[in-house]
Structure 1
Amino acid sequence: MSSNRVTPTEAWQATASRAADCALFFDFDGVLSPITDDPEASQPVPEVLEALDALSRLVRRVAIVSARPVDFLRARFGTLSEVDLFGLYGLERSHGKGETVTEPAALPWVPVVEEVASEARTALGDKAYVEFKRLSVALHWRKTPEHAAEIESWAHAEAERRGLKVQLGRKVIELKPPVDRDKGFVISEAVLSVGCAWYFGDDVSDIKAFDALRARTAVEPGFLGVCVAVASSDETGQEVSDAADFTIESPVAVGTFLADAVKILQANAAS
């Protein structure tokens, strides 16, 4: 789907006729929640929670696909019993309040990641905010941009020494197990069982999810895939917007956008 051929309303109308076979996937930070200086302070926009609750009863599947751990996501979306949670780029997953399932291949790396987190706190001190996530460690420099190059250099060297993978994000670099899981992998698997899917993202890591929808459309022309970029700040970058079908200006605007979608889908279901 291309933004010069379809409007958001037209995309929802096309979705409405196949809502029962449609999945909606959302990144968390910068999409459903504004970007915050303190990663632990992030909360979904209230309008988003209400809209996702309604959408979970109108489409086949609603899921959050995030770099955050499932426990973090559950604390914010646990009231939505029908929303799936994919944490740590798919290394963890859960259906609503259900049990968290961890990718078995990642488990042996937990002690390694924990050691790296400890070493990062010692080596980088106050230069980086070290976020230990059990299966990965994120080094943030949102509050200390002057140390970005040093933090990136340290992370790349440590990843090479430890055999870890590096994931770049907005003012953050993450070290994680060398397991084949990312947002593109999650979406590629998930869309095999549906005929329609939307993905809402705001970061370069979300482009892989956009690519997964494009790839599905290429082999299954009847598949409807819609890629939405959320310009949550001036950090989103033109690369992400260019990869999407259209752009929404902020997480608050996402809440309004989804509320309008609910009305379109409800009207179609009633007709």
Structure 2
Amino acid sequence: MNKKLSISKNKVFEEISTYNSILLFLDYDGTLAPFADNPAEAYPLPGVIELIKHLNDTEKYSISLITGRRLKDLRKFINLKDIYYAGTHGLEIITADGNELSPGKDRGLKNTDLNNIRDFFKKEYLIDPDYSLEDKGLVLTLHHPTTINKDKIIKHLETIIRKREYEILPGRKIIEIRPRFWNKGDAVKLLIQEIKEKNKIDSYLPIYIGDDSTDEDVFKILNNGIGIYVENENKTNTSADYTVKNPTEVLEFLQELKILNK
């Protein structure tokens, strides 16, 4: 059972204090930024960018931002140097040195499925202004109103896609179609290896904070690390070790890390 994370006093901070290297992975929407009806207006909480920069400038912390957004969209909100970025669930990666990694290349995926889904969304849903389609290349995200028959849409999508290549992932007011071969968990494993080699470290503590079903892919593989799930309005079963209520409590957690590192 996951535990409520107390910001003021918790063994999490005691464990953090015993490590010289902390690999901190942060989701964006619903974690660093409150949800907004228009994703283009989902700004990070005041103070978040400054805290990320401060922690990353210390020897102890290496910061990575991991999101379902395209990287170009994420970096409209946070565009700091010397941190790691993973967009489109890790299909786009930029290292702290500025090198680009693209795990989705040369996978031989057939775009026919995605083209058929695009056509399906246009005909059935995008005629309604309450729906919008976010096209990320190998990933499609349908943004929808709260009151819909999600199961009906998913059942129809399953008749279109090849399940061996793509999967359908419902989330908070979204339905996402993404490749099966790669997820945020794979991206975090790759980034851990990159950071270990770059910083020449053997002993480290990975921490991941996220709020969505896609973040469960990380919580499940985060061996000997700390997973923190951000509930927002969705109290659900999670593989994370701890939970916090919302982005405000994530901000307080980052503030505590800054104090702890003095």
Contact 1:128 1:144 in 2 (8 A): no
Q: In the alignment, residue 90 of structure 1 is paired with which amino acid? A: G
**Aligned pairs for 1:192-231 within 5 A:** 192=193, 193=196, 195-213=204-222, 216-217=223-224, 225-231=225-231
**Partner in structure 2 of residue 183 of structure 1:** 184
Which structure features the higher share of helix residues? 1
Q: 1:116, 1:97 → 2: CA distance?
A: 36
Q: 1:63, 1:205 → 2: CA distance?
A: 16
**Partner in structure 2 of residue 222 of structure 1:** none
Give 1:65 deviation, angstroms.
Answer: 1.3
Please give the per-residue CA displacement for 1:203-230, whole angstroms capped at 9, x wherever unaligned: 22212211111xx33xxxxxxx111111
Contact 1:22 1:196 in 2 (8 A): yes
The RMSD of aligned alpha carbons is: 2.9
Give 1:63 deviation, angstroms.
Answer: 0.5
Which deviates further from its counterpart, 104-113 or 164-173? 104-113
Q: Tell me which of 154, 157, 160 is aligned to 2:156.
A: 154
C-alpha change, 1:110 and 1:93, in structure 2 (3 Å) is: farther
Please give the per-residue CA displacement for 1:242-270, whole angstroms capped at 9, x wherever unaligned: x32222111122112211211111x2xxx
Q: 1:190, 1:113 → 2: CA distance?
A: 28
**TM-score w.r.t. structure 1 length?**
0.80
Contact 1:70 1:100 in 2 (8 A): no
**Partner in structure 2 of residue 11 of structure 1:** 12
Unaligned runs of 5+ in 2: 197-202
Q: Tell me whether 1:67 sits opposite 2:68 in the alignment.
A: yes
Q: 1:144, 1:228 → 2: CA distance?
A: 25
Give 1:238 deviation, angstroms.
Answer: 2.6
Match of 1:24, SS? strand
Unaligned runs of 5+ in 1: 218-224
Contact 1:145 1:171 in 2 (8 A): no
Q: 2:84, 2:219 → 1: CA distance?
A: 19
**Aligned pairs for 1:140-151 within 5 A:** 140-141=143-144, 143-151=145-153
**Partner in structure 2 of residue 131 of structure 1:** 134
Q: In the alignment, residue 176 of structure 1 is paired with which amino acid? A: R
**Partner in structure 2 of residue 57 of structure 1:** 57
Match of 1:81, SS? coil
Q: Tell me whether 1:32 sits opposite 2:32 in the alignment.
A: yes
**Partner in structure 2 of residue 244 of structure 1:** 240
Q: 2:5, 2:28 → 1: CA distance?
A: 28
Kindly tell me the number of residue pairs found equivalent between the two proteins: 249
Contact 1:110 1:134 in 2 (8 A): no
Contact 1:113 1:176 in 2 (8 A): no
